[in-house]
Amino acid sequence: MQIPLSTFEKKFLSLYFLIFSIIPLHATEMVFDRGIASINIEFANTLNLRKQGLMKRAKLNQDSGMLFIWPEKEQQCMWMKDTSIPLSLAFLKDDGMILEIFYLEPFSKSSVCSSNEVRFALEVNRGWFRENNVNIGSRLEMKTND
């Protein structure tokens, strides 16, 4: 069951993502839809980190992913050059809601582009979204200690 976010929560999430899009970050834990699934996220929020992404890694830990954050909202495109890990990719709205999910092929040089203007994309191991019942419309949120 998806619980709607209040206006404050939406603005807070947008501000959170905006602030953390301009300073280098380390991994943090985030949840989908108030706890249905938890994920450890690395942030790719600088040009160099976005360029590197998950390239040249042998594996991605289970329940881990990389959140790409761009400074401007526009159509974003990604590819799998030099990436050997089979991945799933979700493009997200400013409030963390998943707009679309793609399945990426290792080493593919074909671009996968968002249908809408976005600032966020999340890469996880292929099948993670399905295995954790995270779908289009699910929302990525900060973990709180409530």
Residue 6 pLDDT level (bands cut at 50, 70, 90): low
* CA–CA dist 141, 130 (Å, integer): 18
pLDDT in tens, 91-137: 999 999 999 999 999 999 999 999 999 999 999 999 999 999 999 99
* CA–CA dist 117, 80 (Å, integer): 21
- 102 by Cβ neighbours in 10 Å (0-12 / 13-18 / 19+) ranks as middle
Residue 141 pLDDT level (bands cut at 50, 70, 90): confident
Average confidence (pLDDT) over 50-59: 94
Query: Do the Cβ atoms of 43 and 30 come closer than 8 Å?
Result: no
* CA–CA dist 92, 134 (Å, integer): 13
Say what the pLDDT of residue 13 is.
58
pTM over 0.75: yes
- 131 by Cβ neighbours in 10 Å (0-12 / 13-18 / 19+) ranks as middle
Higher pLDDT, 49 or 28: 49
pLDDT tops 90 at residue 18: no
CATH architecture designation of domain 7-142: Sandwich (2.60)
* CA–CA dist 72, 139 (Å, integer): 20
Say what the pLDDT of residue 14 is.
57
